[in-house]
Amino acid sequence: MSKIICLANQKGGVAKSTTAINMAAFLGLKDYKVLVIDFDPQGNASSFLGVNIDEPDLKTSGNWITGESEFKETVIETKFKNLFIIPSNDILKQAEIKIESDRIQSLRYLERKLTEIKNDFEVIIIDTLPSFGTLFINALVASDYVIIPAKLETGSLFGVKNLIDNILKIESNFHSLEILGLLGTFYRAGVKECDKSFDELVAAFGDKVFDAKINLTSKIAEAAGFGEPVAYYDTRNKGYEDYNSFVDEVIERLKIAKPVTACETVSQSK
Ligand SMILES: Nc1ncnc2c1ncn2[C@@H]1O[C@H](COP(=O)(O)OP(=O)(O)OP(=O)(O)O)[C@@H](O)[C@H]1O
Ligand SMILES: [Mg+2]
């Protein structure tokens, strides 16, 4: 059965999408079969994996969640090893309005959809949007684990505490949701603000904070601009080492030591 992990932080620009796709790429390279579900109408995770989200015929997470399209019509097999994506774009905003009209089940649409594919992937990574609402809650409700990227700067702890309050609300209304870990991002060596912010995270959350920190490096953003994870773009970059170490910690925490050997699925031809 898949391990379902969402990347969440209601604060914008903390590297949720960047972490989603780079984590997925390294898991794929380490022989795990991975699906990224882009659940943000901005479609950044899709663009970062080279999907043209403006293509008129593209079927996306918005079509899938409302049942307009089948899974096999929305999933794309990327050129990256073991890595599949259900892309997203503006259609997800329309889908949100539709599912909100279902007053009883509106928060469980993604969870229900995932039961159809739970055995097809070893890890499913959901990228979320930076706001609290129906889509965000759907992602939390559908997940087993949350990874919280936190930008290493002054004030980041406040946003994280807010999110944790919301996770606790999900737990009291739905099911347990394990915080797999907090990941410090945009680290700048030698900058006191970054070290102080990391120390604050550790003081508040102890060993839930991943040892790996993601350095600020232009190659990570550059790779995303070219539609590629850093693992495929520049293997000598600090970002490569950082995400590689982070993913090793993720594998250890998930206790998924045995990689897959076979990799088959149906996909949109792109
Ligand atoms: N380690 C890094 N070094 C340099 N640039 C980075 C790094 N991580 C992310 N970026 C860049 O920072 C920007 C924000 O990252 P990203 O889109 O992943 O954040 P996000 O949390 O998903 O944002 P949003 O809340 O809008 O969804 C992007 O342009 C991305 O390329
Ligand atoms: Mg994002």
Using one digit for the tens of pLDDT, what is the confidence trace for 202-242?
A: 999 999 999 999 999 999 999 999 999 999 999 999 999 99
Mean pLDDT in residue range 122-139: 96
Q: What is the pLDDT confidence band of residue 258, given thresholds at 50, 70 and 90?
A: low
End-to-end CA distance of the chain: 27
Q: So what's the pLDDT on residue 267?
A: 56
Burial of 164 (0-12, 13-18, 19+ CB in 10 A): middle
pLDDT above 90 (res 171): no
Question: Looking at residue 106, what is its pLDDT?
Answer: 94
What contacts 24+ positions apart, CB below 8 Å, involve 228-233?
228/49, 228/50, 228/80, 229/21, 229/22, 229/24, 229/25, 229/26, 229/48, 229/49, 229/80, 230/22, 230/25, 231/22, 231/25, 231/26, 231/29, 232/25, 232/80
Instruction: Give the other-Cβ count within 10 Å of 249's Cβ.
Output: 15
pLDDT tier at 59 (50, 70, 90 boundaries)?
very high
Ligand 2 is an ion; its neighbours by CB within 5 Å are 16-17, 44
Name which CATH class applies to 3-254: alpha beta
- Percentage of the chain modeled with pLDDT above 90: 85
**Residue 164 — pLDDT band, cuts 50, 70, 90?**
very high
Q: 76-80, 102-106, 221-225 — which is least confidently predicted?
A: 102-106
Q: How confident is the model at residue 195 (pLDDT cuts 50, 70, 90)?
A: very high
Distance 150 CA to ligand 2 centre (A): 13
Which residues form ligand 1's pocket by a CB distance below 6 Å? 12-18, 40, 42, 44, 130, 185-186, 214, 216-217, 220-221, 224, 239
Contact 97, 104 (CB under 8 A): no
C-alpha 76 to ligand 1 mean position (Å): 23
Provide φ and ψ at 148, rounded to 5°: -110, 105
Question: What spacing in Å lies between the alpha carbon of 189 and ligand 2's midpoint?
Answer: 24
Which of 9, 10, 14, 18 best tests ligand 1's pocket when mutated (most atoms within 8 Å of CB)? 18
The domain segmentation of the chain, as residue ranges, is: 3-254
pLDDT(2) > 50: yes
Residue predicted with more confidence, 174 or 15: 15
Long-range contacts of 219-228 (CB under 8 A, 24+ apart): 220/18, 220/22, 221/18, 224/18, 224/21, 224/47, 224/48, 226/50, 227/47, 227/48, 227/49, 227/50, 227/51, 228/49, 228/50, 228/80
Is residue 180 within 8 A of residue 253, CB to CB? The reply is: yes
User: Distance of CA 161 to CAs 168, 175, 194, 224, Å?
Assistant: 11, 20, 18, 29
- Among 137, 146, 131, smallest CA distance to 174 is for 137
- Given a contact cutoff of 8 angstroms between Cβ atoms, the answer to whether 47 and 168 are in contact is no
What is the predicted pLDDT for the residue at 128? 98
Distance 246 CA to ligand 1 centre (A): 16
Q: What is the mean pLDDT of residues 113-135?
A: 95
- Residues 175-192: tens digit of each pLDDT: 889 999 999 999 999 999
The pLDDT of residue 4 is 97
